[in-house]
Amino acid sequence: MVKVHNGQYKVFTQKVGSGKIKLLLLHGGPANGHEYLENFPLNLNTKDVTIYYFEQLGSYYSDNPLDSTAYTPAAVVEQVEDVRKGLGIDNFYLLGHSWGGMLAELYAQKYQKHIKGLILSNVPGYDFAPKDKLKIFEDDLMKDWLNSTKKLPAFSVYPKTTVDSVFNGLKLSDTLLSKKLHRLVPKALDSMMFRVTYYRANGPEPEPLARDGKHIRRKKDNPFLFELQRIHKQLDYKTAILSLKTKTLLLGSAHDYMYSDGYYDMQKAMTNAKVRVYITPNGSHYAMWDDTKEYFKALNDFLYDVEKHKF
C-alpha cells in the first residue's frame, strides 16, 4: 500500500517480474480496478519487464475516502506521481487503458520527464477526428448495436413491428407485454453493447475480467466517480496530447466503441512526439482479452524497439 494525497490515504500496488523495463499500468473506469489487467504477466517476458499495478483511490482494493479534494484532476495526477515515488521507479513506461489512458495523458503533460515510453490504449481520439467521419462511425455503431440486440432469441418470438415500437420507446396496447418488453430492452441493450464493443470473443468472459466487473465501484455515492464525471468535460485532453514529446504507442481496436481511425488523426497532430499507431484487427475495448496475440505483439514490439533505439 502506497501513501497518496499528502500521506492521507493509501492505494493498492503490486509488482510482478524482475526485468529492467519498468511498466506501470493505469486501469480504466473511473472506479474499475487492476484485475482485468492480470494477463499482462502471461503475455510479457517478466524476466525483461517488471509490471506495476496500482488501483486508484475509490477503486476496490484502495481507500475510498469521502473527500472531494482527493478526486480533482490535479489530485489524481499527483496520485500517479505519489505512486511513482512510492515504488521508486523512474525512466519507466506508462500504459493507460481507457480512462487510464486519459489520466496518462494528463500525467504525461506534467511529468513526461519521468516517462521513457507512453502507451495510450483504447482511448478516445474524438477531438482530432473529422466531424463528418465521426458521425458516420457513431451512426453505424448504433445501427449494429440495435440490430444485433433485436436479433436476440428473446425478441424473435414477437412481430417486428412490436419489437420496433418498444425499441423506439413506444407503449403497446397490451399493457402487460409492454411492461415486460420495456424491462427487457435496457438489459438486452447493455448486454449486447458489451458483446459488440467490449468483449467479442466466444464463450464466457475470462475470470479476471468478470471478477473486475463485480468489483467496480459505480454507485452514486462513490466520490471518485461523481467528481470526475462532474469535471470531465472541462478537461483539456487535446492540449495535453499536443504537448507530449514522449515516444508513444496509440493502441486501438477495430471493434471498439472508440473511433479507431481517430488514432491516425491523433498521430498527425502529435508533431512533437514520435508516434506509432496499431489497431488490433479483431479486438474491442478489452483487446488484451479478445485479440490477445495482436495486442501484446504491438506492446512488446514497442517496448523492445524503444529499448533497442529502433523506434
Q: In this predicted model, what pLDDT tens digit does every residue of 249-277 receive, in sequence order? A: 999 999 999 999 999 999 999 999 999 99
The dotted CATH code for 2-129+205-307 is 3.40.50.1820
Average pLDDT over residues 36-63: 96
Q: What are 97's strand-pairing partners?
A: 121
φ/ψ of 295, rounded to 5, equals: -60, -50
Burial class, 105, CB count within 10 angstroms (exposed 0-12 / middle 13-18 / buried 19+): buried
The top-scoring range by mean pLDDT among 123-132, 186-195, 213-222, 289-298 is: 289-298
In sequence order, the β-bridge partners of residue 92 are 115
Mean pLDDT of 198-204: 91
Average pLDDT over residues 35-62: 96
Centre a 10 Å sphere on the Cβ of residue 55 and count the other Cβ atoms it contains: 24
Label residue 41 exposed, middle or buried (CB < 10 Å: 0-12, 13-18, 19+): middle
* 22 Cβ contact partners less than 8 Å away, ≥ 6 residues apart: 49, 50, 52, 89, 91, 92, 93
**What is the three-class DSSP state of 164?**
helix
User: For position 258, what pLDDT does the model report?
Assistant: 92
Residue 220's pLDDT band, with cuts at 50, 70 and 90, is low
Nearest to 302 by CA among 93, 100, 142: 93
Tell me the average pLDDT across 99-111: 96
What gap in Å lies between CA 25 and CA 185, rounded to an integer? 36
Q: How confident is the model at residue 203 (pLDDT cuts 50, 70, 90)?
A: confident
Residue 60, pLDDT score: 92
Q: What percent of the chain has pLDDT over 70?
A: 99
Q: What does the pLDDT read at residue 221?
A: 62
Average pLDDT, the chain: 93
What is the pLDDT averaged over residues 52-76? 91
